Amino acid sequence: MSINWVMLSETQGFVPLPGERIVYTSPPRTTLALQTPNKYPGKEPLSIHSSAGCVHLTNQRIVYLPAGPTPQLQSFSAPILNLHDTHVSAPFFGPNVWTGILQPVPGGGIPPQHAVVEIRMVFKDGGAFDFHSQFERIKERLEQAVEVARESGAMAGDGSAQQAGRGGGPLAGVSLAAVHLDELPAYAPGQQPPTSLHSASEGACQEADNSCPSETDHFSPPTEPPPGYEEVQRESVADELERRLRASQ
C-alpha cells in the first residue's frame, strides 16, 4: 500500500499503470480508514481517515481518491495481492463495511514500524458487496496468473509488491492481457445442469430398496460463522504476515 503515490489526472482522476483497466468505481461517499490493528497499538499507532471519496478497483490494485484531499492523504493505492483476509460486514444499523489486512509497501508512505495495517471502507451509498465480489474474482485470477508465470520461470515471488513505484512492479512478468476480467457465462436453458451429490445419492437409494431417509434426517450446516470468527481470522492473518515480514528482515 502507498500513500500519495498515485499519479493524478484532471480528466481521468488518476493515471493508469501499463495494462491497467478499471473494473469498478464506488459511489462518491465511500469512507476510508487506515489504522494499526488493535492487537498492535505500538507507541505511535497509525490513523489516517477520509470521510468521503471514490475507490477504484482495477485489474492490478485498488485506488482511493478522497473528495477533499489533505496534506496527509491526497491518494491511496494498494496492490491487490498485498491485501489479505478481506470481507464485508453488514451491521444491523448503518451502511455495509469492507475490511482487510494490508501488507505495506516499503517506501510507500507508511512508517516502517507498521508490519501490517488494517483497512476499513464504509460504503455509505451502497456497493460494498459488488466491490467485494469483483475484488475476490480479480484476486483469484491474478493469483492463478502469477502461479503460471512462476512455473514458466517468467517471475519469482508471490506477486505482492515489495517496494513503492509506478512501474510494472511485481506483476511485470505476468501477462495481464491473458487475465480474464469478465464474468463466466451464466447457465442457459438446454444445458445439462450439474448433478448434485444429494440428488445422486437419492437416486441410488431409491434403486436399492426405496428406503431413502427423509429431508429431516439430513444435517444442515450452519449458515453463519461462530461468534468472534472474523476477529480471530484477522488476528491470525496479521500474526502470519508480521512473522514473515520480520523473518525476511
Q: pLDDT tens digits for 73-131?
A: 999 999 999 999 999 999 999 999 999 999 988 888 888 888 899 999 999 999 999 99
Helix residue spans in 40-176 (DSSP H): 128-151
pLDDT averaged over every residue in the chain: 77
Helix (H, G, I), strand (E, B) or coil at 132: helix
Q: Are 237 and 101 in contact (CB under 8 A)?
A: yes
Element (H, E) at 246: helix 229-248
d(CA 60, CA 67): 23
pLDDT over 50 (residue 193): no
pLDDT attached to residue 34: 95
* Size of the chain in residues: 249
Report which of 100, 94, 103, 118 is spatially closest to residue 41, judged by C-alpha positions: 118
CA–CA separation, 67 and 29 (whole Å): 8
What is d(CA 191, CA 210) in angstroms, rounded to the nearest whole number? 29
| pLDDT cut 70: percent of the chain above it | 59
Q: Stretch 41-47: mean pLDDT, rounded? A: 76
User: In terms of Cα–Cα distance, which of 238, 231, 228 is closest to 36?
Assistant: 238
CB 76 within 8 A of CB 56: no
Is the model's pLDDT at 245 over the cut of 90? Answer: no
Q: What is the mean pLDDT of residues 40-48?
A: 76
The pLDDT assigned to 124 comes to: 97
Cα three-residue angle 191-197-198, rounded to 5 degrees: 105
> For the chain, which residues make up each domain, given as ranges?
2-168+233-248
Q: What angle do CA 136, 240, 33 make, to 5 degrees?
A: 55
| Phi, psi at 191, each rounded to 5° | -80, 150
- Tell which CATH classification among 3.40.50.720, 3.30.9.90, 2.30.29.30, 1.10.630.10 matches the domain 2-168+233-248: 2.30.29.30
pLDDT in the model for residue 5:
87
Average pLDDT of the residues in 9-16: 88
pLDDT at 66 over 70: yes
Q: What is the mean pLDDT of residues 40-52?
A: 83
Between the alpha carbon of residue 160 and those of residues 135, 169, 170, 172, 176, the distances in Å are: 15, 9, 6, 11, 15
CA 181 – CA 176 distance, rounded (Å): 10
CB atoms inside a 10 Å sphere around CB 10: 5
Residues 84 and 237 sit within 8 Å (Cβ to Cβ): yes
